[in-house]
Every structure is written in C-alpha cells, then in structure tokens.
Structure 1
Amino acid sequence: MEDPPDVETLVQGLVADNEGTRKYAVFKLQSLLGDPSFADAFIQGDGHIALRQAALDTTGNTQAYAFGSLDALLELDIGWDAVDSPVIDKAVELAVTHPLVNIVRNALRLLVLLVSRPLRPSGRESASVGFGFAAIKPALDNHPEFLDSLVQRLSAADHTLCANALQLVNALMRDAVIHGGEHEWPKFVKRLQDLGVIGGVGMLMRGDAASDLGSPLAMAILEFQGLTKVLLRKWREVRVSVELGEHKRALKTVHLLSRPEPFVVEEGAEGSGLGKGGKRHHPKKWRRLGFETESPAAEFEETGYLGMMDLVDYARRNEDSYQKMLMEQSVQPPEQRCPIARASLSVSLILYEHFEIDDAVDIIDGEATGHTRSTSGYERTSNPYDVNKLYRPLLLQWGRLHTAATNAFQRLWKLASAESEDFFKIEELLRVVVEKIVGAAGRKTDVGSIEDELRSVTLEVARRWQMDGLDEIYEDAWGPHLAQVREQLHQESQQFMKEQRIRCLLQGQWFPVTSPSPGSAAVVPWRYVRLSHNRRWLHYQDFAGRSSSEPGLEDLGERIDLNAVTSVDSNVSAPAEHPLTNGANSSTETLKEATTLDSSKLSLPGTTTTTSTTTKITILGTRSKPSAIYPSSEEEEAAESALLVLLPQTAYIASEWLDGLLMLLNQEPITKDTTRLISMLEDWGVRLRMLNLRWEDVDWFALEQRGKGLSGEEVGVREVPGREGWGEEFYYAAAGEGE
C-alpha cells in the first residue's frame, strides 16, 4: 500500500508548473485534511497559501479539488488567511457561471462556511476579510446575478449542489437578520422571496430526496423551515408605527385598494375647516375597512408588522373581491358587517398558532452567540421519521393560506348570518377549519387543493368538526372531572328518557290483537292500552276495530295491577336505524330537532305505519294480587303467566313500550333506540356544559337547517312566555296545544 505523501511534498506539488502534479496534490489533500493533526502541520508549512494560489490559477477538476481542500480546512476552523477577496470573488464567479457541478458545489460550500463562521475567530490567525454577508458583499456587487443564480440552483438535479445552495441561502438569511438592521433584513428576505426561493424549497420538500432525513439536503430544508418560523416571529415582534414611512405606506395601500369615495363636506358645514365643496377623508375611514377604531396602528398590537404584511398582501391578492365586499357591506347595518381588517388579523394569529411559531428553535440567537446549532427540529418530534409531519411546505405558502382563510372567514360569517357579537364564534369556527384542513395536509399536498377546500367548506361541516373536536379538547383539560360530569349526566339522561317513555304509556296506544295474514281482507280486532295517571294500573280493552278517537280510561274495562307484574318478555331485536339516530351526525340532528319539542314528544313517529309485524311484547306476572303484609302460601306459589300480549306495529313503538314498561319496573332499558337517545342526551349535555351554553343557544352549533320537528315538518320558533300575570298554576308546554 502506497504511503501518503508528506506535507512538504504536497506543498511543493501545489506550486509545481506541471498540471498533473498539482492535480495529484489537491486530490490527495481533500482526504488528508480530514485529520486535524495533518491539517495543523499543513498550516504550519504554509500549505494553505499555496492551496489558495492553486484555487485561483487552476481550472476544471484541479480547481474543484483545490476548493474542496480549502473547504476541508475551513470546516476545521483553520486556514482562514487563505480566504481573501480574490478567492471570494473567484468562488462567486464560479458559482454563477461555471457549468461543472463539482466546481460549483465546492465554491458554494466555501461561501457557506465563510458566511456561517462564528463571530469570534479562533485567535490563532488574523482574518484577511470580514465574515458573514459583509465578507461576500463586494463580490456580489461585481456579480449582481448571483442571488438569482443561487435560487435557480435549488432545482438542480444534483442533491449535494441543491443542499449547498440552500445552506448558503440559510446562512445569508441568518446573517441578514443578525447584522442587517431592523429595517434592512426584511428587504433582503423579500428579495429572496421575489426570486422564487419559496417555490424552490417547496419543491425540494415534496421531492423524494427529502425523505432521507440524514442527508445534508434534508437538514438544509429543515433549517430553512425553522428560519421561516423565526422570521415570522420576528416580523410579529416589530411594532407598527405610523411614524415609520414603510408602515404608513402599507396602511395607505390598504386604504387606497378599497377604492374609497371622497368624503364631501357640505357647503357651510360648521367646523369643517375647508372651503366650499372641500373634500376630506370619511370620519369612519378605517372602521369602514373593518378596524375597531380610527387609530389602526394600535390594533396591530397582537400581530405586529406580520399582521400588517398579511393585510396588505390580502388586499393586493383580492383587490376586486376586497372592493366588492366593502361595497356590499356599506348598505348593511353596522352590526352585520364582517370586519375585514379585524378578520385578517385574526387569521394571522390562527395560522401563527397552528404552525406553532413560538415553539421554533431560535437559531438566530444561537448564531449570534457564536454557536452553531442544529435547526432541523426533528429531535423535538415524537416520531422523527414521520416525514409527512416533519415537513410543513404549507408554512412557506403563508400568504396564500392567509388569503384563503380570510375569505373563508367572511364566507362563514355570511352563511351564519353573524353579527358583531358573534365575531369570536366565527373565529373559533375558523380555527377548527384550519386545523382540520391545513393540519391534515401531507408534505406533498398542493396549496391549490387546500385553497379549494377552504373555499368550499360549508357551515354545516365546520360546525360538525367543531363539535367532534370538543371531546378531545376538554378530555385533556378536565381529565377525571369530565368523567364525573358524564356519570352525572348519564343518570340525568336516563331519568329523562324514563319519564319520556312512561309518558308514551300514559298517552296510550292502539295494538292489533292478532297479526293478519298477508293479503287477508279479514277485519283485525284492536286493543287499546293505556297507563293510569297514578302509574299503578295498566288499562286495556279490545275493540272490533280501531277508532279515530282515543278511548278514555273509563272506557277500558280491563286492567292489570303493576304490582303483580314480575317481568316483561319480548322478541324485539335491535330496531332499524331511524334518521335521527343514524350515522355520525345522529347527535347533532336529534338535538337540533329535540330543542323545538316538548320532552313527551321526543319519541319518533311511527303510528302511521300499517305494515304487519311479528314483534311481540309479553307482560308476565301473577294473576292474584299479593297481600300487602302476609301473603298466603297459595299466593306465594302462584305460577307466573302471561297477563297481556302486545303486538307493536313498528320497531320504534316496540322500543317505547318495552323500555317504558321495564323502566316503570325500575329495570334497565334494552332497545337500541332508547340507549342511543340516552347516549345522545348525555353527550350533548357534556358539550353544552363545556361550552357554557343554554339550550336555546344550541342552534349556533347545530346544523344550518332550523326549526324542523321530528316528523320533518316545519314548526315555528316559540317565544318562552314570562310569568307576569300568572298565578302559581302557571306552566308552559313547548310541544303544542293542550299538552
């Protein structure tokens, strides 16, 4: 095995006239300089000076190896004396113009190391040039197309070249924020964005190469994502002031894009301060745009300059619809107008919280203290290899997301017929929509599809998402307290349903005595059954036919003492699902309709069905009534027998009567319909307590159709009367007349 050349031999090879000798020397140096002891010896032998000259004088692969060797030295934080203005200018020139990928890669890497170098030099050598963006600025002035070329390199086929280009973009952005001044770094970042850096990085995020999280490209992408969060946070920290020309121009832009009509002061108006026919701004100039006051700068307190940027961007992207919306609202009562400016600022905060901007690692401060810190952030993720959750390409499309979400805010406002006092309700609704749509997007989801979803989401869907998410939210917040509330509400709901089912028995019901054969024209005798008011007797009577009127208790000659009933048997199976209790939306639909009816009418209609059924309910018990104190031995031995057989026409009537009888006997309900209704009442009771709502407020979270009864017929919204003028016997029946 050939021994590696010593330092002296390599230094001589670097200054040799023979191209092959120089090429061999720089080729060997790339691997040997990875050893710190060899690198120190190389520096002591002034090898870095010879290497500098080789980087300037050679071409092709020899030059690529020379820059690669310089990179190896700089990565060890030595050899900085070799990086002077001519070398920097050469690196920038090669990065812009050279076609060979290996040369451009190494030239960009040198610039990355130079811009990213810690602010405190090692002390072993003096730097010939500055550091950061200032070090390469003269070269960039000589090559003004450099930044454009750098952004274009992000779409190169070579992944290492892409990684080096993006690393340099990251380094320049960091340095601009640290040393560019409060008003200079936003301009530089805006310039990069105008050149297409957002689109370039977004393509890299969605590409297959980004799935290898250990690659330099993946690290650079995640670093850019972290930088974006930090920049958003810093934009938010910039206070808005009308004393600053840039901020004043931004507000003026928002005003002018609304196409305001000049406010004409009438001739002779007192206190106008203007001549005849003079013009001035409308006294509600800013409130017309959706601000709460006529001092808009103060309303950016929470969002800072970020909120102003978003508002200006929204007005520019939607100039026509922005003007149209303001014109439409100008003819509406003030309380019904959607405050566009306020909505825009709210959306900025919603996106800010959704992307967890405040939780971003502050890599800017890390660089400022001279320590290189990892900016990937994937060590903070519970599953670091879940690429879909790690990359957030939609974060880079902040402006488009903000615009789409602000439009969605206005649309939901209009669909809900919201008023000023409902602003926070719509805000919370939109927060859920953003979490559901934007949060569910993967790294390859196109922003256009997200815009379409935000544009098409309905009020019904948004409210359902809101209610579906409450369980999870409050489970985390309340923990065991929520379980106690549920247990209490379960008992209350069961008691409510017991009362409702027993009321069905009190109301009475017709049952066929026998099941007619299919196609038979024979007259079927009917039995009317009704529970007594004191709930102690079950009255019934058989009739030749079913009458249109309901018999009174005095017309029912037979009765059963409920004290003699021992059990209730039935072949009732799980009934077919009713629209109110079918599917994921059963709770929402049932509550919407139940709020318009009295509790006694919560049961589903079914008495109009005339189809035959084989459903049978058998009431079992003893024929003789047991003695209240000392039952006789004969009574004790009385055999259990069928006291009454009922043949319900529909599954739901069977559910009402079977569970009603069971609950009357203090037993648990067994049918699917009753248990579903109990579960629904329990669920909505929890939700209403969590939302701190009254029952009459439920309409806000129900589906958009209002005032439909259980039968599907429209019912009027009844105003609850007061007690004034009524005595102690006052009561109110919400279901209808006489109930």
Structure 2
Amino acid sequence: MDQADIPALLSRLSSDEDAMRKMAVFKLQSSINDPAFADAFISSGGLNILRRLIMTTGGNTLAYSLQSLSRLLEVDMGWEIFEAAGAGELVERVVELIVTHPLVNILRGAMSILVAIVSHPQSSRGAIKIPSNFGFRALKPAIAVYPQFFEMVVSQLNSADHALCANALMLLNALMRDAISDTGKSDTGKVAGTGEEWPKFIKRLQDLGVIRAAYILMQSSALQDLAHPLLEFQALTKVLLKKWREVSVDLEKPDHRRALKGLHLSSAPERKEHYGNGSRVEELAENGKKGSRRHNPEKWRRLGFVTESPAYEFDETGFLGMMDLTDYVRKYEDGFQKLLLEQSSRPLHERCPFARSSLAVTMILYDHFEVDKSDVEDAKNYLILDGMKNYDKVFKPLLLQWSRLHGASLQAFFRLWKATGATRDDFEKVEELVRILVEQVVGQAPRTKDVSEVEEELAEFEYNRLRELQMELLELTFEDEWGQHLLQVREELKQEALHFVKEQRVRCLLQGAWFPKSVQYKSSMDNGYQNGPRSSKTSWRFVKLSHNRRWLHYADFPSPTTKDPPLDDLGEKLDVGSISSVLSNVSAAGDDTSSISSGSTLRSPSKTQKQNPTKITIMSFVPVEDDKSESSKRRQVERPILTLIPTSHSLASDWLDGLLMLLSQTPITAETNKLLALAGEYGLKIRLLNVRLDDGYGGPPEGAGVVPSREGLDEDYYYEVLPSRHARLPNSIQARVGFPEILG
C-alpha cells in the first residue's frame, strides 16, 4: 500500500461500518511492517485509531488490529502507544482477551503484543519516559484484576495450534527472563510485577506445569514452529540453575533455616542411634534420665555432612544443592530413613555420607549439562538451528527433569557404594564412577527417550560394564597426554608379548602331542559314519619337536600310551627347515567355517568341508621329473608331507600357531591373538600403575633447571653421553614404566 493512501485508510478505519473497518485493518496488517509506511501511519495519528479498534471491536476486526500492532512493534516502532494516557487500559484489555477470549487468532496477536511489552529493552530508541510501562511491572495492574492470567497462558502450551503455543511459550520466557534480571526487580529485591521474590515466582510457574509442558513439546515431532522458544526456555532453565547455585545458604534466612530443620526432622532423629560403641548410647540415656537435653553430637554428621556446620558445606553448590537434597528427602522419605538406619549399624568409615553424596551428584549434573557455559552454547545453538534441523544435538529435554535425574543418580551412588564395598577414603572414586554413569546414560540418551527409561537404566547399569568404560576413558586420557610415549611403549610390549606367546606355543611342540590318524564322525545326512570304516580301530600318531627345534619327530602307535614316548622311539623325522607352508581349516574366529594357510590365505569352504575334521597340513617342496619337457628336467612341487588331526580347537591353535611362529610367521588363530592382546594390555596397565597422576602435569621437579655453581672448578673435566632408546620419554615416566634413568 502506498503512503499516499494513508488518509483514505485512516478514514475507513474510523468508519462506523464494521465491514469497511474489517477490510481496512486487514490491508493495514500486511503493510504496516514497512518502516516507511509505519512512520507515515504514526505521523498521521494512526496509533489512536488502532488503539480504539483494539479497545472496542471484536471478531476478525479485533484479530487484525492486534496483528497490526504486533507487527508494528516488531519493527521497533509504535511504542508511544504504551507511553500515552490510557496505556494501562490498553494493557488490561490485552490481558483480558488472553484470559476470557477463546478465538485462536485473537489470542495469538494478544500474546505477541505482551511479549513485546515485557521484553522491550529499556534503552531502545533512547530513555523511556515511563519505565513502569514496560517489562514485568507493566502487567502488574492487569494481573491483579485477572489473577488467573498465568494459568491461562500455561494452558495454551497444550494448544493444537503451534503458532499460539509458540507465542505462549515466548510470553512465559519473557516473563521469566525479566523476573530474574536486575531490571525486573524493585529496590527490595522482589519481582516488580508480582511483589514476590523471583524464586517464589518461578516456583509458581513450575507448579502450574510449565516444565512438564515444555518437556513434552521438546520431545514431540512438532519442533519446526517451536524450536526457537523451546531453545530459549532450555537456556533459561540453565540460567535459573546457575542463579540458584549463586544463592548462598544462609541460616539467617527463614526459608533456608526451615529447609535444614525439615531435613533433620525427616531423618527420624527420635529413633535410637548407635554410634559405634555401647558406652556412648548409655551415656546419652543417662543424661536423658537426669533431665538434661543435650543435643546429639552427631546431629548433622549422621546425615552425611562432614562437620556439624552444614551451611558451609553448601559453598560449592549453593542453594541449588539444598534444593536437590531436600527435594530427594521429601520424595523418598521412607528410603532416606531406612538408609540412615542401615548405615548407622556400620562402622563410621564404611558409611555412605548421604548429604555429601547428594551435593556431589548435584555438581555432576551441573557439569554434565555445562550450565556455566550456557551463554556461549546458546549462541552456537541458535546458529545451528538456522542452518540445520538436527534437533537431537541441540535440545536436551532431560535437563528439564533435573529433580528426577538427581534422585536416580543419587540412588545409583548408593548402589555403587554398596557394590564396591567403598569406604570414606573411596568417596572420590565412587563419585567418578557416577560421573561416568551419567555421561553414558544421560549423555547418550536420544531426545525422545523418556525420563522413566533413563531412571531405569541408571538403576540397572552393571558395575562391570561401568568399570570397563572407566578403563577406556583412562586409556584415552593417557593417550591424549602421553600418546607419543604410549605408542612407543605399546610397540615394545607387543614385541615382548609376541616373544612370550611364541615361547609358550613352541613349548607345546617340545612337549609333544597325540593325534589320531583317521577320524570317524557322524554326518548330518545319515546315522552312519564317514571317512573310514565304521568298525575299524583308529591308530594314533605322536609328534614332538626336538630340543634343538630343528626336527619334528613322529611315529605311529595303535593307541596312546600312558607315558609319552621319548625321541629315540620316534622313528620318523621331518626337517623344520624344509617346511614351505602350513595349511589348515582352523578358523581365525574360533570355529571351523574357513580354511587358513600360513600365508594368511582364507579359503571359503564348501558344505562338505564344514563337516570335515580339523586338519593341519604341513607342506614342502618335493622335486619331480617333468616328462613333458624335451630334456628331462626336475622341478619343485609343493606337496603335503605330514597331516595332523587335532582333537580340540585349543590343541589346533597351539600347534598351528606354534609351527607358524617356529617358521617366523604371524600367528593367525583367534585364541593366540586374544592371548597376545591380553598380554600387551596387562603389561601396559601394570606399567601405568607405577606412573603418578602428576607425572607430566606438575612440571619439572623442584631444583630442575638450576645452573650449578662453577666455583672451585677448573677446565679438567669431560662429559660421558649414554645413548638411550627412550630419550623422548620424561625421566619420571621412564623410571616408573621400567626404563633406566637418562644419565649424562
């Protein structure tokens, strides 16, 4: 619409005919977001007409009027309408529409206007003449008239209209942000719009179901229209957690004092306590008979605090830690009392400190969700939302279930304490296990995973699996810090393990073994036997490696003897140096599904081969005459010279890899490779146990780098340089992983 048409437009907006007003305001809403048009509209007195339409009309005319004002505020113009006389009546009218009006298109426009009023910056377009007309305090008179306002706004979060739902969430975000900001407070520290302190106002919204509604929306599939307000709500949740942590626990404050008193009373202090010896109980009973009301000397320590001054132990977690602690006790009061009763029967050093554990879990969750990094991360997330739709990386709906996560994680803490048989000195170790558990279960949970499933997984996560994860993380930590050094150590350990396993396998050959010469086995095709006569007796072959490891001696016998025959009784022998290759159908995976040769050749077996027994075939080049050649020439042909039929997979692994390693070839069976990996990993872990945590972190030792004095020295001296293969390793690490100190 052209600016020249504004007088005619204003005339139609002021008409007494509703149809003409409706058409005029319909055209206005599509043009007013043009700053040039908006400026001309305001200069011509259009704000007064627009205000009158909002105050007096209804239906679509009212909806279009609200939308026009909302779009005008979006271009940061038209704020004068809330500074002129009658601004309070206009705000009250908008609040009234939200509370009483059922039409969606009217509710959308009304909420959009209130979002602009509450979140309007105080420095926009210069100083505001009447600051109370903006922010949370601008709604105070209207909310006093319509106290059900908050309840109605929260109820719109369940609306099927996504735009209305988004506007309602944006309004709640604006109210919360203004309430917890410094500009939203009065001189007494209370929220200017409600007359109450911000924690009480936030709790009021929580009691109306804001968090539950936002949690459902964040897990839904309708995120395209709600992404930005939901992300802002998630950011505000982090801001609130951070703000609660910054509130110091002060027993001079009545609510803080009541919270600690309630915690003490919930622990059932009237029950008879045992402090580790009967004399103490008798002493307290004796004092009670005399009428003296002495306080329990372990009033707070029995609840898991370190000292009898619990307020100081909340320094790290602040009021957030107290909230989590008291909330858990309120929800699980029976379990809390049973835990204290069970712990009281144990020695003091074996008791799980309940309060200290709760505070530790609070900080684990605080660090996991990176609450302190909220401002920076939120800015990155907004950029991610603009460029992609992978919401699982951005949204963390479990953050909104903080209380339930704290309770489930704390119960997991108690379970791990009991499973590991921990003592007070092991507290940090159990804390680290819980941290890994939270990272694994909560951190790996997809966006749509319900909190009840997360609670169940936290309760059932196996300790052995958790321990494996801890060792993997420890290994990654060492890799990051000492990756180059560990690579060198691993290579050396690999060679040591290979030498160790080779010696073990060759010793099996030196000891000798019995092998059947033929095997009878049942086929799946019939009830008889194949590969030999059904009633014949199987002969046996004993094979043994000579002490000098140069000859394989063997001989055939009717049956195995009780005592293994000596080498002198083994009439046949085979030169190890003449062996060209070793073939076998022993599988690298530990079954008989593939054939393997010494050249690491895998041969896919047929169905018949799958039924054949395990065989190890020793090959050698045998000279033969080539009759087809014009001149009779001799050529080398590889042929089997000895076949072994192991009676078990373990025996097959010993002899196959033993023969290969004897020929300086790589072992190929899964059993041997597993043994190699096990020996290497255990060797590394044993060496790492001798490395202090501060090695490589704490800098040079005291006195390092100090140039010695040359006083009293002449020029008659020399240096002796000792070369070392481990010169790249720090001295302290070399000494602890088995390497000599570098001298020089």
* TM-score, length-scaled by structure 1: 0.76
Counterpart contact for 1:621–1:643, Cα < 8 Å: no
Which residue of 2 is the match for residue 228 of structure 1? Answer: 237
- 1:570 counterpart SS class: strand
Match of 2:650 among 640, 649, 652: 652
Return the letter of the residue paired with 1:419: T
Q: Secondary structure at the match of 1:6?
A: helix
Q: Single out whichever of 185-194 and 48-57 deviates more from structure 2.
A: 48-57
- Look up the match of 2:460: 456
Q: Call closer, same or farther: CA 1:518–1:477 in 2, change over 3 Å.
A: farther
Note the C-alpha offset of 1:563.
7.0
Q: 1:261 aligns with which of 249, 270, 273?
A: 270
In structure 2, what is the Cα distance between the partners aligned to 1:433 and 1:519?
Answer: 61
Deviations 1:263-308 (A, max 9, x none): 79989969x9998243444322223222233333333333222222
Deviations 1:498-521 (A, max 9, x none): 222233234443333554666755
Give 1:171 shift.
0.5
Q: Is the 8 A contact 1:222 1:375 kept in 2?
A: no
Match of 2:310 among 296, 300, 304: 296
Deviation at 1:345, TM superposition (A): 2.0
Asked whether the equivalents of residues 104 and 164 of structure 2 are also in contact (C-alpha less than 8 Å), the reply is: yes
| Compared CA separation, residues 672 and 39, structure 1 to 2 (3 A) | same
Kindly provide the amino acid, as one letter, of the partner of residue 332 in structure 2: N
Aligned match of 1:409 in 413, 427, 446? 413
- The alpha carbon displacement at 1:473 in A equals 5.9
SS of 1:208 mapped into structure 2: coil
**Aligned partners of 1:572 and 1:654 also within 8 Å:** no
Asked if the contact 1:515/1:612 (under 8 Å) is kept, the reply is: no
Superimposed CA distance per residue, residues 145-181 of structure 1 (whole angstroms, 9 cap, x where no aligned partner): 1111111111111111111110011011111111344
Aligned to 1:500: 504
Deviation at 1:124, TM superposition (A): 8.5
Report how far residue 398 of structure 1 moved.
0.9
1:236-635 map, 5 Å: 236-261=245-270, 276-361=290-375, 377-380=381-384, 384-467=388-471, 480-515=484-519, 520=534, 522-531=536-545, 542-550=556-564, 553=566, 564=577, 566-567=579-580, 569-574=582-587, 577=590, 613-618=613-618
Q: Residues 87 and 511 from structure 1, CA distance in 2 versus in 1: closer, same or farther, beyond 3 angstroms?
A: same
Cα distance change on mapping 1:690 and 1:48 into 2, 3 Å: farther
Matched residue, 2:725: none
Task: Report Cα offsets for 1:210-242 as digits up to 9, x if no partner.
Answer: 1x2xx3x22111111111122222222333333
Give 1:537 deviation, angstroms.
6.1
1:193 is matched with 206
Letter of the 2:120 counterpart:
R
For 1:410, the aligned partner's letter is F
Larger deviation: 611-620 or 37-46?
Answer: 611-620
Contact kept? 1:489, 1:685, Cα under 8 Å: yes
By how many angstroms is 1:257 displaced?
Answer: 1.9
What does the per-residue CA deviation read over 1:363-394, in whole Å, with 9 as the maximum and x for residues that have no partner? 9xxxxxxxxxx868242589832122222111
User: What do the CA deviations read for 1:72-92 (whole angstroms, capped 9, x no partner)?
Assistant: 222222322312111111111
2: CA distance, partners of 1:480 / 1:381: 39
C-alpha change, 1:547 and 1:283, in structure 2 (3 Å) is farther
Instruction: Indicate conservation of the 8 Å contact 1:80/1:127, yes or no.
Output: no
Q: What does the per-residue CA deviation read over 1:389-413, in whole Å, with 9 as the maximum and x for residues that have no partner?
A: 2221111111111111211222222
Shift of 1:52: 1.7
Structure 2 partner of 1:113 = 116
1:450-500 per-residue CA deviation (whole Å, 9 max, x = no partner) reads 222222222233334445556666655655555444433322322221222
Pick which of 244-253 and 323-332 moved more.
Answer: 244-253
Tell me: CA distance 1:419–1:31, structure 2 relative to 1, closer, same or farther (3 Å): same
**Following the alignment from structure 1 to structure 2, what is the Cα–Cα distance between the partners of residues 495 and 618?**
23
- CA offset at residue 689 of structure 1? 6.0
Judged with a 3 Å threshold, the aligned counterparts in structure 2 of structure 1 residues 222 and 43 are, in CA distance, closer, same or farther, namely same
Percent identity between the aligned chains?
A: 48
In the other structure, the counterpart of 1:709 is: none
Which residue in the other structure is 1:76 paired with? 75
Paired with 1:52 and 1:246, the residues of 2 have a C-alpha distance of 45
Q: Against the structure 1 CA distance between its residues 643 and 163, is the aligned structure 2 distance closer, same or farther, given a 3 Å change threshold? A: closer
Q: Letter of the 2:655 partner, please give it.
A: W
Q: Report how far residue 59 of structure 1 moved.
A: 2.2
Q: 1:152 to 1:297 in 2, by over 3 A?
A: same
Q: Which amino acid aligns with 2:247?
A: V
- Code of the residue aligned with 1:652 in structure 2: it is S
Give SS of 2:431's match.
helix
Q: Is the 8 A contact 2:616 2:656 kept in 1?
A: no
Query: Comparing 439-448 with 92-101, which one deviates more in the overlay?
Result: 439-448
Task: Kindly indicate whether the alpha-carbon contact (under 8 Å) linking 1:262 and 1:279 is maintained by their aligned counterparts in 2.
Answer: no
Rate the CA distance shift 1:267–1:434 in 2: closer, same or farther, 3 A. Answer: closer
Q: How large is the RMSD of aligned CA atoms in angstroms?
A: 3.8
- Mapped partners of 2:385, 2:10: distance in 1: 48
CA gap 1:58/1:641 in 2 versus in 1, 3 angstroms: closer
SS of the residue corresponding to residue 233 of structure 2 reads helix
- Asked whether the 8 Å contact 1:115–1:171 carries over to 2, the reply is yes
1:66-105 alignment runs, 5 A limit: 66-83=65-82, 84-105=87-108
Would you say 1:667 and 2:665 are equivalent positions? yes
8 Å Cα contact 1:233-1:358 kept in structure 2: yes
Which residue number in structure 2 is paired with residue 203 of structure 1? 216
Q: Equivalents in 1 of 2:477, 2:326: separation in Å?
A: 34
**SS in structure 2 at match of 1:260:** coil
**Matched letter for residue 32 of structure 2:** L
Cα distance in 2 for residues equivalent to 1:478 and 1:329: 42
Displacement, 1:202? 1.5
SS at match of 2:590: coil
- How far did residue 118 of structure 1 move? 0.7
Aligned partner letter, 1:677:
L
CA distance in 1, matches of 2:551, 2:291: 89
Please say which of residues 161-170 and 496-505 is displaced more in the overlay.
Answer: 496-505
Alignment coverage as a number of residue pairs:
634
SS in 2 for 1:510: strand
Q: How far did residue 325 of structure 1 move?
A: 1.5
Seen in structure 2, the aligned counterparts of structure 1 residues 245 and 539 have a Cα distance that, compared at 3 Å, is farther
Task: Give the distance between the partners of 2:429 and 2:455, measured in 1 at CA.
Answer: 22
Q: 1:375 to 1:569 in 2, by over 3 A?
A: closer
Partner of 2:41: 42
Structure 1 unaligned residues grouped into runs of 5+: 364-373, 579-610, 624-636, 695-739
Give SS of 1:209's match: coil
Amino acid at match of 1:241: D
- In 2 relative to 1, CA 315–23 (structure 1 residues): closer, same or farther, beyond 3 Å? same
| CA deviation after TM superposition for structure 1 residue 117, in Å | 0.4
The CA distance in 2 between the partners of 1:168 and 1:284, in whole Å, is 49
Following superposition of structure 1 onto structure 2, how do residues 141-220 of structure 1 map, counting pairs within 5 Å? 141-179=144-182, 180=185, 181=189, 184-210=197-223, 212=224, 215=225, 217-220=226-229
How far is the alpha carbon of 1:201 from its aligned partner?
Answer: 0.9
Q: Distance in 2 between matches of 1:110 and 1:512?
A: 92
Partner-residue secondary structure (3-state), 2:582: strand
Q: Structure 2 CA distance, aligned partners of 1:561 and 1:19?
A: 113
Gaps of 5+ in 2: 191-195, 274-278, 521-530, 592-610, 624-634, 693-744
Relative to structure 1, the CA distance from residue 208 to residue 669 in structure 2 (aligned partners, 3 Å threshold; closer, same or farther) is closer
Distance 1:510 1:336, change over 3 A: farther
Q: 3-state SS of the aligned residue for 2:181?
A: helix
Provide the C-alpha distance between the structure 2 equivalents of 1:8 and 1:638, rounded to a whole number of angstroms.
Answer: 110
The structure whose RCO (Cα within 8 Å, separation 6+) is larger is 1
Compute the TM-score of the two structures, normalised by the length of structure 2. Answer: 0.76
